[in-house]
A and B are shown apart, each in its own frame.
Chain A
Amino acid sequence: MAKLLIVDDELPINRLVCKNLTLVGHECIPAYDGVQALTLIKSEQPDLIILDVMLPGISGFEIMKLLNSVPVIFVTAKTGLDDRIKGLALGADDYIVKPFEMAELTARVQAVLRRTKRGADTFSFDDITVDFSSRNVYKSGSLAVLTPKEFSLLELLINNRNLALSREKILEKVWEYDYCGDTRTVDVHVQQLRHKLGIKDRIKTVFKVGYRFEI
């Protein structure tokens, strides 16, 4: 969907982020230090940079100062407020604190891409087209009637495609804490979605984990 530059000097974490974001449909380019990152920003023109602030050579904050118009989500391991305030003041679009959950990262990536109009507005699979801006779903060219929660659920599953989401995570993301229901609610909505769009094969139940949209 979008071209992302992943800047982190920690090889395991860089690879982890790349793998996950590739799975959900992005193109990921890894960079392991500041100099490499700056070169790749010029040559690859990424849509979004995920930037660790603690970097060898040139620090993440210094890179941010050199950037123009490329959205940045910065990653910090510091618990204090200083780094976050500094990062946001330098024009970062969002931040995430280590250790983070992948669903959190994908959600932020989607949000920033949507906000900066760099992400795709539609997503198509099989005979279904999902329009994220108008929040409509078309099956075989005709409008499918989904409730707002069902649409949000579908959007979440697509944004985390190929990654399993626990029922708790889905509750948290789609119902946003304001719902006191139990995880059965998620099951009911998933059934509805599968039934309405006929995508039983796409939304898989992952044993002991939750649901996964596969493509």
Chain B
Amino acid sequence: MRMKFFERTYLITFVLFLVFLNVAVFALAMYTFHNSTEAAKSVCLTEISSIADAFEKDYEYSGAQSAGILQAAYGKFYKERNIFLKFINEGNVGYSGISEEIPVPALNTLSVTRNAGKRYVVISRSICDNTFTLVYSKDVSYLDKEFTRLCIVFVAGSLAASLLLGVILYFVLRKLYVPLIKLRNATGDIANGNFNVRAEDKGDDEVSALARDFNIMADKVSRQITQLKDTADRKQNMLDNLAHEMRTPLTAIHGYAEYICGARIPDEERVDAAKYIMSESMRLKDISEVLLDSAFIRENGIKAKDISLRGLAYRTCNRLDKDAVNRGVSIFCVAEDVFISADEYLLDILLSNLIENAVKACKGGGEVTVGTELTEDTVSLYVKDTGIGMTEEQLLHITEPFYRTDKSRSRADGGTGLGLALCKRIAQAHGTNLEFVSEEGKGTVASITFTRLYQNLTTQG
């Protein structure tokens, strides 16, 4: 299966070679044979000429009456030299050293005949002023033998050449195919999910180029897979946390309801239990609200309009002031009247969350300052506290859903653990980022930077 392409190339090359080699060998054999036949023929023609000349001279000298003796003498003489003669005197056969079965060709022509397994060249010629017809015949069977020998040599040669080529071709092709096979193995591995495999891409032929492209592709795929896995992990983690956050209040609600229903307890305890049910269901409500807000931003985006940071900061600070005072924390609002383009409702959620976190970080006693910082074209809204601060490790994770800095997941402070995740989303929806600078034991500054629109100078200070 894996070697199909290799086998095909090998077979096609090999068969083509065999066909051409054998055709060439065959043609060569035929040519050689033809040449030696022609050579034999011309030898025969020369011989008959000299025989005819000699005979004509002898005939002239000895006279017509001793023609029969002369013919016999010639016949005998040449028979010993493997040449057979036949004399025909005006239709009657005189001396004949040639079998009757060999047909006599027309005058002055040459024919090649087979008889009794032998090959003869037969030539007839009129001699002595057409008195006789001289038929000359020579056994040329050696040509057949030669042809057979030639064939054997050629066939053996071509066989040897084919064999040699077969072996060499195999190894040469093998070597050419190794990179391809390696590439194929690499693709197979990746197809099976092993994304760390890379193909060998040394060299500068097409296969190496293919391997390089393939490696680039594999890199991209594996990067994307890792990304997808990360995203999936994060989502799963978020889901696990969400399940945990929902289950805890649910356990309390169910448990206290059961308790009220079935336990033998005084009325005061029933009231206590009912209070727990109420506070725990509020927690569920908070979680669902944050999730809804989050989904709302995702679905609808933001409805931006020009808003004053000063107005926003004052409203939010006033609303949260009572809670802060209860915790012994003072909130100072020093925001300037700078206008930005933002969604007021979402920005209010963001600022509330930041201020609430800042107040909680102060752990009773401390200050929270909400203010603005201007540059040429931007304005940063910041919330600064004098609280416990955070470590760098904590800073990295605070915007993750359900992350709590005190690791305790202690919900004594309330809150869903989703606040900063929502803030981050709001900031991103506004095309900006939430930034935190913190020092353990000294406090935290959270800030978000916007493009500045204009400043109302009349209300400044």
A interface list, Cβ under 8 A from B: 9-13, 15-17, 19-20, 23, 32-33, 54-57, 77-80, 98-102, 162-166, 206, 209-210, 212, 214
**Contact A102-B258, Cβ < 8 Å, known A78-B244, A162-B263:** yes
Whether A79 and B407, one on each chain, are in contact in the complex, defined by CB atoms closer than 8 angstroms, is no
Whether B407 and A16, one on each chain, are in contact in the complex, defined by CB atoms closer than 8 angstroms, is no
Determine the distance from Cα of A19 to Cα of B261 in the docked complex, in whole angstroms: 14
Q: List 25 A-B contacts (CB under 8 A).
A: A9-B408, A9-B410, A10-B411, A11-B412, A12-B276, A16-B252, A17-B255, A19-B265, A32-B410, A54-B244, A56-B408, A78-B243, A80-B240, A98-B251, A99-B247, A100-B255, A102-B259, A163-B262, A163-B264, A166-B262, A209-B261, A210-B262, A212-B262, A212-B264, A214-B264
* Neighbouring B residues of A164 by C-beta, 8 Å: 261-264
Whether A165 and B262, one on each chain, are in contact in the complex, defined by CB atoms closer than 8 angstroms, is yes
| Across the A-B interface, the 6 shortest Cβ-Cβ residue pairs | A56-B408, A164-B262, A99-B251, A77-B244, A98-B251, A77-B247
**Contact A12-B252, Cβ < 8 Å, known A56-B410, A102-B258:** yes
Nearest Cβ distance between residue B257 and chain A, in whole angstroms? 10
* Neighbouring A residues of B243 by C-beta, 8 Å: 77-79
Whether A16 and B255, one on each chain, are in contact in the complex, defined by CB atoms closer than 8 angstroms, is yes
* Neighbouring B residues of A98 by C-beta, 8 Å: 247-248, 250-251
* Neighbouring B residues of A77 by C-beta, 8 Å: 243-244, 247-248, 251
* Neighbouring A residues of B407 by C-beta, 8 Å: 56-57
* Neighbouring A residues of B247 by C-beta, 8 Å: 77, 98-99
B interface list, Cβ under 8 A from A: 240, 243-244, 247-248, 250-252, 254-256, 258-259, 261-265, 269, 273, 276, 279-280, 406-412
Determine the distance from Cα of A156 to Cα of B26 in the docked complex, in whole angstroms: 106
Whether A99 and B254, one on each chain, are in contact in the complex, defined by CB atoms closer than 8 angstroms, is yes
Determine the distance from Cα of A15 to Cα of B263 in the docked complex, in whole angstroms: 14
Determine the distance from Cα of A20 to Cα of B251 in the docked complex, in whole angstroms: 14
Residue among A17, A77, A162, A163 having the largest count of chain B Cβ atoms under 10 Å: A77
* Neighbouring B residues of A55 by C-beta, 8 Å: 408
* Neighbouring B residues of A13 by C-beta, 8 Å: 248, 251-252, 255
Nearest Cβ distance between residue B413 and chain A, in whole angstroms? 12
Determine the distance from Cα of A162 to Cα of B265 in the docked complex, in whole angstroms: 8
* Neighbouring A residues of B265 by C-beta, 8 Å: 19, 23
* Neighbouring A residues of B406 by C-beta, 8 Å: 56
* Neighbouring B residues of A101 by C-beta, 8 Å: 254, 258
Whether B256 and A12, one on each chain, are in contact in the complex, defined by CB atoms closer than 8 angstroms, is yes
Given contact pairs A9-B409, A10-B411, A20-B263, a sample of 7 additional A-B residue pairs in the complex whose CB atoms are under 8 Å apart: A12-B256, A17-B255, A33-B410, A99-B247, A101-B254, A102-B259, A163-B262
Determine the distance from Cα of A98 to Cα of B251 in the docked complex, in whole angstroms: 6
Determine the distance from Cα of A14 to Cα of B58 in the docked complex, in whole angstroms: 151
* Neighbouring A residues of B262 by C-beta, 8 Å: 163-166, 206, 209-210, 212
* Neighbouring A residues of B255 by C-beta, 8 Å: 13, 16-17, 20, 99-100, 102
Determine the distance from Cα of A10 to Cα of B247 in the docked complex, in whole angstroms: 12
**Contact A100-B251, Cβ < 8 Å, known A12-B280, A77-B244:** yes
Closest B residue, CB atoms, query A33: B408
* Neighbouring B residues of A100 by C-beta, 8 Å: 251, 255
**Contact A12-B279, Cβ < 8 Å, known A54-B409, A100-B251, A164-B263:** yes
* Neighbouring A residues of B250 by C-beta, 8 Å: 98-99
Nearest Cβ distance between residue A107 and chain B, in whole angstroms? 14
Closest B residue, CB atoms, query A79: B243
* Neighbouring A residues of B254 by C-beta, 8 Å: 99, 101
Nearest Cβ distance between residue B402 and chain A, in whole angstroms? 11
* Neighbouring B residues of A11 by C-beta, 8 Å: 412
Determine the distance from Cα of A162 to Cα of B269 in the docked complex, in whole angstroms: 14
Determine the distance from Cα of A56 to Cα of B406 in the docked complex, in whole angstroms: 8
Nearest Cβ distance between residue B194 and chain A, in whole angstroms? 26
Nearest Cβ distance between residue A54 and chain B, in whole angstroms? 6
Whether A19 and B263, one on each chain, are in contact in the complex, defined by CB atoms closer than 8 angstroms, is yes
* Neighbouring A residues of B263 by C-beta, 8 Å: 19-20, 23, 162-164
Determine the distance from Cα of A163 to Cα of B255 in the docked complex, in whole angstroms: 12
* Neighbouring A residues of B259 by C-beta, 8 Å: 16, 19-20, 102
Determine the distance from Cα of A16 to Cα of B263 in the docked complex, in whole angstroms: 11
* Neighbouring A residues of B279 by C-beta, 8 Å: 12
Whether A23 and B264, one on each chain, are in contact in the complex, defined by CB atoms closer than 8 angstroms, is yes
* Neighbouring B residues of A32 by C-beta, 8 Å: 410
* Neighbouring A residues of B412 by C-beta, 8 Å: 11
Determine the distance from Cα of A181 to Cα of B272 in the docked complex, in whole angstroms: 38
Closest A residue, CB atoms, query B249: A12
* Neighbouring B residues of A54 by C-beta, 8 Å: 244, 409
* Neighbouring B residues of A33 by C-beta, 8 Å: 408, 410
Determine the distance from Cα of A99 to Cα of B252 in the docked complex, in whole angstroms: 8
Whether A16 and B276, one on each chain, are in contact in the complex, defined by CB atoms closer than 8 angstroms, is yes
Determine the distance from Cα of A69 to Cα of B418 in the docked complex, in whole angstroms: 39
Determine the distance from Cα of A78 to Cα of B239 in the docked complex, in whole angstroms: 10
* Neighbouring A residues of B269 by C-beta, 8 Å: 19
Whether A162 and B410, one on each chain, are in contact in the complex, defined by CB atoms closer than 8 angstroms, is no
* Neighbouring B residues of A210 by C-beta, 8 Å: 262
Nearest Cβ distance between residue B403 and chain A, in whole angstroms? 13
Nearest Cβ distance between residue B232 and chain A, in whole angstroms? 14
Residue among A163, A165, A212 having the largest count of chain B Cβ atoms under 10 Å: A163
Nearest Cβ distance between residue A113 and chain B, in whole angstroms? 21
Nearest Cβ distance between residue A165 and chain B, in whole angstroms? 7
* Neighbouring B residues of A10 by C-beta, 8 Å: 248, 252, 411
* Neighbouring A residues of B248 by C-beta, 8 Å: 10, 13, 77, 98
Determine the distance from Cα of A12 to Cα of B251 in the docked complex, in whole angstroms: 9
